[in-house]
Structure 1
Amino acid sequence: MIKHLPLWQPASLFLLVSALAVVFQTHAQASVRSEYELKAAFLYNFTRFVSWQRSPDEAETDLNLCVFGDDPFEELLAPIEGRSAQGRTIHLKYPSQLIDMTDCSVVFVSQSEARRLPQLITAAGESDQLTVSDIPDFARQGGVIGYVQQGNVIRFEINLRAAEASNLTIDSRLLELAVRVIQ
């Protein structure tokens, strides 16, 4: 004997599935948000543990933190604006062309710019910029600091050769925290 489901059960099942989909979507968005919250915190702390070789007349200049390409941080970097690192005031910038990156001290290279990575790294190296990205193998490709994910943990690699080529000095405490240092 086949039992027929009451009319309310398919509708209830649909509502339950819809509710679960919203919960899982919200959880996935929260995971991405918390991932980029952590990356934003790392980004700010990198400015505190990396030194730029400057002439005495440049000692009090602002520190421009630039996001090049699509901005995965959205509003998460806003609290960094106006903060201080090594006596320099941090300003956020969002250049759209390589030529607009010349006054950046730190450049976060978005994954949307992976195709142009060799050009970006060359331009950043010529301008003594700290480059940071979550593009896979970023540090191995010549970037200074690359985010890596180990399981559910966000870590970073440091390319010491790239840092030295960009006239950057990385504090030993930051080097100790890196999952890998490329020399």
Structure 2
Amino acid sequence: MSNTGFAKLQRKTVATGLCWLSALLLGVFTSSSVSAEPDIHALRSAYLYYFSHFISWPDDSEFPQSELNLCVRTDDKKDQFQLTTIDNKSLGANTLKIVLLAPRGVSALASCHMLYVAEEHREWLAAIRPEISVRTLLITEGLLDERGVIHLFMQNSKLKFSIDNRSLVDRNFKASSKLLRLSVRNGA
């Protein structure tokens, strides 16, 4: 495939993915046709997938076995189940790999490209924060004193997210402009 054809395919893939993410953000999809509320666990997993897909890592990032590791610290069984639906999904040149962290999972942090920490693990996050690499994209949720570069939160009974783009840029990450437009400024 020519470079031009590949670029067109890449733009089409990004556009399609962002359309799906926009639809999720607007609450178009629900967990069933009868339900008025989207499944928060499925939405959270979709967000994590799209963050991995629409954020570019620094040029010097390494992806052993072409895997992008999304490390997760949550005890919620529904979240853990939903995460299996995005495990081994293609991200272009890499594959998304879900790594569920144990309570003492500090040794695994070195291999994490993304780290999602649920609100109930705020003490764990505070304890391991110095161990998190600047090349790890930290995603947090809920009422935390220290937020990640991406923060998920509830607003009007809907799951929203904010992105600290300055912190992303300072660490040589790059979020797509459309993803940035979909984020809520400063978690407000």
TM-score for the superposition, normalised by structure 1: 0.70
Larger radius of gyration: 1
Per-residue CA shift, 1:121-166, capped at 9, x if unaligned?
4433x2411111213257xx34111112111221101112332344
CA contact (8 A) 1:157 1:181 kept: yes
* 2:83 counterpart letter in structure 1: L
Which residue is 1:80 aligned to?
86
Which residue is 1:103 aligned to?
111
Q: Secondary structure at the match of 1:80?
A: coil
Which 10-residue stretch deviates more, 44-53 or 62-71? 62-71
* Number of positions where the alignment pairs a residue of Structure 1 with one of Structure 2: 150
Distance 2:61 2:101 in 1: 27
Q: Secondary structure at the match of 1:93?
A: strand
Distance 2:168 2:110 in 1: 17
Cα displacement (A) at 1:47: 0.8
Distance 1:38 1:152 in 2: 13
Distance 1:167 1:90 in 2: 20
Distance 1:180 1:71 in 2: 27
* 1:36 counterpart letter in structure 2: H
Distance 1:60 1:91 in 2: 10
CA contact (8 A) 2:122 2:144 kept: no
Distance 1:58 1:33 in 2: 33
Q: Secondary structure at the match of 1:85?
A: coil
Q: How does 1:92-131 map to 2 (within 5 A)?
A: 92-96=98-102, 97-124=105-132, 126-131=133-138
Which residue is 1:176 aligned to?
181
Is the alpha carbon distance of 1:42 and 1:56 closer, same or farther for their aligned partners in structure 2, counting shifts above 3 Å?
A: closer
* 2:88 counterpart letter in structure 1: G
CA contact (8 A) 2:113 2:135 kept: yes
CA RMSD of aligned residues (A): 2.8
Q: Secondary structure at the match of 2:51?
A: helix
Q: How does 1:149-164 map to 2 (within 5 A)?
A: 149-164=154-169
Structure 2 unmatched ranges of 5 or more: 1-34
Determine what percentage of the aligned residue pairs are the same residue. 25
The answer to whether the aligner puts 1:50 opposite 2:58 as a matched pair is no
Structure 1 unmatched ranges of 5 or more: 1-29
Which residue is 1:9 aligned to?
none
Q: Secondary structure at the match of 1:102?
A: helix
Moved over 6 A (4+): 30-33
* 1:42 counterpart letter in structure 2: Y
Cα displacement (A) at 1:71: 3.9
Cα displacement (A) at 1:104: 1.1
Is the alpha carbon distance of 1:171 and 1:83 closer, same or farther for their aligned partners in structure 2, counting shifts above 3 Å?
A: same
CA contact (8 A) 2:140 2:151 kept: yes
* 1:131 counterpart letter in structure 2: L
Cα displacement (A) at 1:175: 0.7
